Amino acid sequence: MDFRKKLPPMNRKKWNNDSQKLVSPKSTEMMAANTHMMGDIEVQEEFMKYRSPLTSRYASEEMAFNFSERKKFVTWRRLWTWLAKAEKTLGLDITDEQIAQMETNLENIDFSYAAAEEKKVRHDVMAHIHTFGKCCPKAEPIIHLGATSAYVGDNTVARCIHRLATFAAEHKAVPCLAYTHLQPAQLTTVGKRACLWIQELLMDLRNLERARDDLRFRGVKGTTGTQASFLALFNGDGDKVDMLDKRVTELAGFKKHFTICGQTYSRKVDIDCLNTLASLGASVHKMCTDIRLLANFKEIEEPFEKDQVGSSAMPYKRNPMRSERCCALSRHLMCLIQDPLMTASTQWMERTLDDSANRRVCLAEAFLTADIVLSTLQNITEGLVIYHKVIERRVLQELPFMATENVIMAMVKAGGNRQECHEQIRVLSQEAALEVKQHGRDNDLVDRIKKNQYFTPIHAELDSLLHPSSFIGRCPDQVTQFLQEEANPALKIYSDKLQGTVELNL
C-alpha cells in the first residue's frame, strides 16, 4: 500500500531548492521546527522514509556535514579548479577569467539540475561536470580536462585521554578489587585501571596519526593511471606531466601522491583507514564494558542526569545507557572493516566499479560511527562518578582471603611453622567463606584470627597487615610515571584542542 497516496501533492520545487541547505536534525522536534523550510506535507513524507540514526540521532553536525552531498560536490569543484590552475601554469590555454568563474561558483550548486542530469546520463561525475559548467559557461570547456572520474572521488580521542588522565591521577591510590576471569584476584587502584583504558586509546591515537600521515593523493593520472591523456595535452612533455601531478597534489594539501595507481588509488588505503577505526571501536567497547560491569557492582557510574529515566517499568534503575550505546555502535564499527577487505580483494585489473556503491556506505558510516562513539565516550569520561564506600566495602569483603599469605609470613617471622600456620588459616578461611556464601554474612576471617590463640604473636600487627594500601604494590607510582612519560607527551600537540564539553542530545 502506498501511504503517500493519502497525502496531497508536495511542492517539489521548494523541497529541491531547500535541499541545498544542510539539515541534520537531532530529533523529531528539531525536524518539526524546520517547517519554515518545508511545508507540513513535506515533513510528513520525510518521516515516511528511512533515515540513518547515525545522522538523525547521534552524529555531530561537523561529521554529518563532512559526508554531506554539499561537502562532496564542493570538494569536486575545488579539485577541478586546482587542476585548471595547475594546467594553466604549465602552458595550457586556460584563462584567468575561466578560473575566476570556477572559484566564484564553488558553492553555487543546483542540486535539482544535477539530479536530473544524473538520471539522464547515469553518471554522477558527468552530471556534476554539466552542473558546474551551467553556472560557469566560460569555464565549461576546460572543467575536468584530461581527468577521470576517480580524480574526484579526522581530536576527540585526545580529549578522552585527557579526561581519563585527570581521573587516573586523582584516583591513583584508591584501592579496589582487580579481577581475572571476572573473579576477585588481588587489589589494584581505580587510577591504575583507568590507565589500562588510556593505554589502549593512546595506541589508537598513534594509529590514527599514522593513517592520517600515510594518506597520499591519488594524483593526476588519467583513466587507467597511465597519464596518457595529460601526456597528449602537453605534447609528449613528461616533465610537465610530473609537474602537474606535483602542483595539484600541493594545491589539494597533500605532501605525497601515488606514483603508481590504476583508475583509482589502491583500495587497501580504505582498509588502513577503517582498520584503524575498527581497532578504536574495540578499545571503546572494552572500556565501556568495564564501566557497565563496575556499574553493576555499584562502584562506578557514568553521568546520569537529574531527569533521566533508567527504565519505564523500574523507576529505580540507573542504566549505563551511554556505555551501552558505545558498545552497540563499536560493534558496528568493528564489523565495517569487512567491506574494504572484500572490496580491495575483488578489484579486477585496474579497477571494477563494484567498489563504488559499497564505499559510499561503509566509509561514511565508519567515520560517522567513530565520531558518535568518541563524542559519547568524551561525555562519559567528563562525568564518571566513583562510590568510595562501596569500593571499600567490596575490598574488605575479599581482602582477608588475599591477606592470608601476609599473615603466614608474619607468623613465620614471629617463630611459627609455615606448614602448621597454613593449615590453621586454611581451616579458618573455609569457615569464613561458608558464612559468606551460605548465610550471606560479612567476611569474618579477621575476627576469627583475632580470637584464635595460635595467632597471638601477630594480633597487634593484624590491622597494618590488612590495610588495603599495603596490597596495591606500585600502582600510584606506575600511574604517575605512565601519565608523565606516555599520556602527557602524546597530548602535547593537542593542547589547544582539549577544551569544550560534550552534551548528548539523546
Instruction: Please indicate, yes or no, whether residues 216 and 322 belong to a single structural domain of this protein.
Output: yes
Task: Indicate whether 412 and 378 sit together in one domain.
Answer: no
Count: domains in the chain: 3
Q: What is the mean pLDDT of residues 141-162?
A: 73
The string of pLDDT tens digits covering residues 356-378 is 888 888 888 888 899 889 999 99
pLDDT of residue 282: 97
Distance CA 480, CA 165 (A): 10
Q: Which residue has the higher pLDDT, 51 or 232?
A: 232
pLDDT at 305 over 70: no
Active site annotation includes 36: no
Measured distance CA(142)–CA(129) in Å, rounded: 10
- Let me know whether 411 and 303 are in one domain: no
Residue 114 lies in a domain: no
Look at 61 and 158; give whichever has higher pLDDT: 158
Residue 248 in any domain: the answer is yes
Q: Is the pLDDT of residue 19 over 60?
A: no
Q: How confident is the model at residue 41 (pLDDT cuts 50, 70, 90)?
A: low
**pLDDT score recorded for residue 206:** 94
User: For the ranges 16-25, 136-145, 484-493, which has the lowest average pLDDT?
Assistant: 16-25
The arithmetic mean of pLDDT across residues 56-64, rounded, is 77
Co-location of 361 and 409 in the same domain: no
- C-alpha span between 85 and 106 (Å, rounded): 14
User: Which of 28, 51, 74 is the last residue in one of the domains?
Assistant: 51
pLDDT above 70 (res 506): no
Say yes or no: 415 and 323 in one domain. Answer: no
Spell out a b/e string for 275-295, using b for 16 or more CB atoms within 10 Å of the CB, else e. Answer: bbbbbbbebbbebbbbbbebb
Over 80: is that where the pLDDT of 257 sits?
yes
CB-based contact 311:280 (threshold 8 Å) = no
Domain that holds residue 160: 156-308+316-384
Please indicate whether residue 166 or residue 354 has the higher confidence score (pLDDT).
166
User: Does one domain contain both 361 and 413?
Assistant: no
- Residue 135 belongs to some domain of the structure: no
* Catalytically annotated residue among 24, 68, 112, 311: 311
Residue 217, beta-bridge partner list: 257
Handedness of CA 259, 260, 264, 269 (dihedral sign): negative
Choose the catalytic residue: 36, 181, 312, 439: 181
Same structural domain, 255 and 339: yes
- Name every residue whose Cβ is closer than 8 Å to that of residue 61 and which is 6 or more positions away in sequence: 22, 24
Mean pLDDT, rounded, of the chain: 83
Q: Which three cell numbers stand for residue 399?
A: 581482602
* 106 within a domain of the structure (yes/no): no
pLDDT greater at residue 10 or residue 175 = 175
Query: In terms of pLDDT, which residue wins out, 22 or 463?
Result: 463
Most confident of the following: 119-128, 165-174, 421-430, 446-455: 165-174
CA distance 72 to 450: 74
Residue-level pLDDT at 151 = 59
Let me know: does 400 contact 386? Beta carbons within 8 Å. no
Q: What is d(CA 72, CA 363) in angstroms, rounded to the nearest whole number? A: 13
Q: Are residues 331 and 421 in the same domain?
A: no
Does residue 170 share a domain with residue 264?
yes
CATH of the domain at 372: 1.20.200.10
> Is residue 165 situated within a structural domain?
yes
What number is the average pLDDT over the span 69-79? Answer: 85
Domain endpoint, select from 447, 465, 483 = 465
- Name the CA dihedral angle for 169, 173, 175, 178, rounded to a multiple of 10 degrees: 60
**Average pLDDT of span 401-408:** 82
* Mean pLDDT, residues 233-246 taken together: 92
pLDDT greater than 70 at residue 24: no
Q: What is the pLDDT of residue 175?
A: 96
Q: Where are the beta strands (DSSP E) in 87-243?
A: 175-180, 183-189
Confidence of residue 148 (pLDDT cuts 50, 70, 90): low
Residue 11 predicted with pLDDT over 60? no
pLDDT of residue 318: 75
Residue 192: the pLDDT is: 97
Q: pTM of the prediction? A: 0.75
Q: How far is Cα 151 from Cα 155, in angstroms, rounded to an integer?
A: 28
The helix (run of H) or strand (run of E) holding residue 300 is strand 300-301
Backbone angles phi, psi at 302, to 5 degrees: -75, 170
Residue 311 has pLDDT above 60, yes or no: no
pLDDT computed for residue 40 by the predictor: 60
Q: Catalytic: 311?
A: yes
Q: CA of 205: how far to CAs of 94, 200, 442, 450, 499, in Å? A: 44, 9, 44, 52, 18
Asked if residue 354 and residue 213 are part of one domain, the reply reads yes
Q: Which of 355, 384, 413 is the last residue of a domain?
A: 384
The pLDDT tens digits for 472-494 are 999 999 999 999 999 999 999 99
- Sequence length of the chain is 506
Query: Residue 184: exposed, middle, or buried by beta-carbon count in 10 A (0-12, 13-18, 19+)?
Result: middle
In a domain, residue 168? The reply is yes
End-to-end Cα, the chain, rounded Å: 32
What is the rounded average pLDDT of the residues 289-296?
Answer: 96
The mean pLDDT of 237-247, rounded to a whole number, is 92
Residue 296 falls inside a structural domain: yes
Q: Report the pLDDT value the prediction gives residue 331, as an integer from 0 to 100.
A: 96
How does pLDDT run across 265-275, given as a tens digit for each residue?
A: 888 989 999 99
Q: Are residues 326 and 441 in the same domain?
A: no
- Residues 438, 346, single domain; the answer is no
Q: Mean pLDDT throughout 462-470?
A: 85
Q: Which of 237, 244, 235 is nearest to 217 (CA)?
A: 244
Q: Residue 71: inside a domain, yes or no?
A: no
